[in-house]
Amino acid sequence: MIENSIDIESRSNYWKSIYFEKNRDDFWYHLAGADKDISQTNYNLANSSILYYFYRFSLEKEMLKYLVGRFCKEHIMALDMGGGTGRNALTLSEFFKKVISFDLVDSFVEENKRRYKAVKNISFFQLSIDNLDKLPKDNYDLIFLGGVFMCLGDDEVKSALNKIQSLLKRDGILIVRDSISSMVTSFYDRVKIYRSEETYESLFIASRFSMVGKYNSANRNLWCSLFNHLPRIVQNRKIILQVFEFFIFLTIKVDSRLIRRQPFIRHSLSNQLFYVFKKYED
């Protein structure tokens, strides 16, 4: 049912229709994962969106760093699957001797090579998730996927997880950040799936992964909400945006620590979760 709800051709066109304008506005939207077609050269991102992405990416970076530090035993090789804009690969490069990052979209790969050319322990290349068998087996201490499985049907997810089993070292971990539906599985333009938690987690169990951690990701930040209530003319002032970014930066440390609390309690305003998995021990 879910597999048939994915339109493969539409999904392919959705991701490959991305165009880069090397300016601040498109850069921030690009960091969001280029989630929509931004081929309009006059595209302009509102400061309210910039502020939200600043909060979201800063928090996600803190969470990824925390999860790597807590769960990853070795820090030799990491794989960033569906690396998109490379921001997660950059975070992983702070911890691992070598980071491999691949994406289906060649414009992502070429842009990442240009933007991060000074970071010598990251390699970017183009690869489809269908071709994971081209990667060396038993090689990675950590595999990370951000927003990838929500673009795959159930059969595709199962196939990818089976291949990931062979890529991870014995004590390696899999970290996944995805958007989850709080109620029932839903679809977006037949190119994305927002699975219920039960449906999502059952896919991993069926592929012989055990969950060792589950955490909320970004939710509705107070400073973002306050900023949205300001008149547009005030929002457009650079100094105002910088002030709000400063206060968000201060609260990120608090937010990231609150999120770490266990046992896990789903935040009512968060539909993005971090999962940590390891292979079943035979």
pLDDT band at 36 (very low <50, low <70, confident <90, very high): very low
**DSSP letter, residue 134:** G
E strand or H helix at 141, and its extent? strand 140-146
**Can you spell out the DSSP letters for 151-176?**
GS-HHHHHHHHHHHHHHEEEEEEEEE
Alpha-carbon distance of 140 to 212, in angstroms, equals 18
| Residues 71-90, mean pLDDT to the nearest whole number | 93
Is the pLDDT at 213 greater than 80, yes or no? yes
b vs e for 190-206, b when ≥16 Cβ sit within 10 Å of the residue's Cβ?
A: ebbbbbeeebbbebbee
| Residues 89-115, mean pLDDT to the nearest whole number | 90
Question: What are the boundaries of each domain within the chain?
Answer: 3-279
Tokens of 194: 């927002």
Alpha-carbon distance of 97 to 64, in angstroms, equals 17
Is the pLDDT at 68 greater than 70, yes or no? yes
pLDDT band at 172 (very low <50, low <70, confident <90, very high): very high
CATH of domain 3-279: 3.40.50.150
Question: What's the pLDDT score for residue 234?
Answer: 96
How high is the mean pLDDT of the chain? Answer: 85
Alpha-carbon distance of 123 to 86, in angstroms, equals 10
